Amino acid sequence: MKEMLTPMLRIGGVGLCAVVLIYIVASANLFPMVVKGDTPGTATTTPPTAPQLDKQAYNIKLLQLANAPTSTWNAYLEATSSNAAISLPTISQSILASLATSTRKYINNALWPVQNLPYPNYGALLPSHRIVAYYGNFYSTAMGVLGQNPPSVMIPQLKAAAAQWAAADPSTPVIPAIDYIAVTAQGSAGSDGKYRARMPASQLDEAVSLANQVNGIVILDIQVGLSNLQTEIPLLQKYLAMPNVELAVDPEFAMHNGAKPGTVVGSFDATDINWTINYLNGIVKANNLPPKILIVHRFTQAMVTHAANIAPDANVQVVMDMDGWGSATRKIGTYQAYEENAPVQFTGFKLFYKNDLKAPSTAMMTPSQVLKLTPQPVFIQYQ
């Protein structure tokens, strides 16, 4: 379990390289095509075909993340060659019967890839990319790497970390991220008794600026204290309406029955997560945005109750992020218990520059070690 380091600001707790994992644009035309009409001097404007998700590439990437052998990918490609849109969960029984048992395991008999989920709309970042994020708050040197060094030092560090992941898995392009705690749990009640502090717009603007410097994205992290998501998230609508801003929620600091942050581990229910998904869905539709990413922190089962009821949709992709610290053995065990064995959609993994080195641990896990997990995390967070 992550520990409380201050009473005021919470310190957070090759496969088939030939498969080109991109989203295709169905029309090469950038402008409407003008076609001659029946009457001289007239023309008809035909709108371009909307770009579409490459569903077959999407499915193959899911198999890769599930550590399915290359033979499984090849079998899937052969079985679906006549219909690239066949999804993993809807592959026909006749096709399944023609595949080897080892292949069927990764299509309809295993936890991963997760079955019966909607395809994302065009423009989704996952699973064709891996996000590597630096986490923290600019006001605190103890809450994570974002506050420990000036941008002139931190930005090169983030770029170096992203480069390590790109080298460890060349088949998955890396997107760097600034993961900023926009609402922080507090050790004191504050004027409204909610035990949380909202960061000013100047700090959120700084997070956006830093992300632009690395051609990356922003993740706004929320610790609600005795407040709630329904109150805090709409206050960030200006930023969530930006195409490169995503959202994270931390159940550890969602307190109930008046408990102070840090005294017990808090929780969210699937109803809270689904409310957030619906809210983000509305923002995506209203602003004609690519799908959003919602990250949910988790290192115990009780932190997210009824997790099997969480419902990702075509406009919101959900990442369950294992953010506990400790030795590699401890972290892997937690990941297997609360991520691998409790599938939602995608997974994340948190690495601590300091806490992961506390005895008995002697080293932080390497990208190669993390990539051996099933499923492979698509979100990597450094604190």
- pLDDT value, residue 357: 83
The rounded radius of gyration (Å) of the Cα atoms in the chain is 22
Strands 268-269 and 217-222: unpaired
CB neighbourhood size of 43 (10 A):
11
Task: Compute the average pLDDT of residues 30-45.
Answer: 39
Q: Is the model more confident about 358 or about 229?
A: 229
- How confident is the model over 140-168, as a mean pLDDT? 95
Which pLDDT band holds residue 204 (cuts at 50, 70, 90)?
very high
- Cβ–Cβ under 8 Å, residues 367 and 169: yes
Quickly tell me which residue has 């309809």 as its tokens. Answer: 108
Look at residues 47, 5, 40, 2 and name the one whose alpha carbon lies nearest to residue 26: 47
pLDDT at 3: 34
Give the percent of the chain with pLDDT over 90. Answer: 62
Band the pLDDT of 244: cuts 50, 70, 90: very high
pTM of the model: 0.83
With vertex at residue 271, the alpha carbon angle to CA 324 and CA 256, rounded to the nearest 5 degrees, is 60
Q: Are 318 and 344 in contact (CB under 8 A)?
A: yes
Highest mean pLDDT range out of 105-119, 218-232, 360-374? 218-232
Instruction: Give residue-wise pLDDT tens across range 284-337.
Output: 999 999 999 999 999 999 999 999 999 999 999 999 999 888 888 889 999 999
Structure tokens at 23: 């989203």
Residues β-bridged to residue 294: 247, 318
CA 270 from chain center: how many Å? 17
Which DSSP string do the residues of 247-283 spell out, in sequence order?
EEE-GGGB--TTPPBTTB---EEHHHHHHHHHHHHHH
> Which pLDDT does position 30 carry in this prediction?
26
- For residue 285, give the 3-state DSSP assignment: helix
Q: How far apart are CA 106 and CA 128, in angstroms?
A: 18
Q: What is the pLDDT of residue 56?
A: 82
For residue 154, give the DSSP letter: H
What are the residue ranges spanned by the domains of the chain?
33-108, 130-382
Q: Are 188 and 227 in contact (CB under 8 A)?
A: no
Res. 10 pLDDT band, cuts 50 70 90: very low
CATH pick for 130-382 out of 1.10.1660, 1.20.140, 3.40.50, 3.20.20? 3.20.20
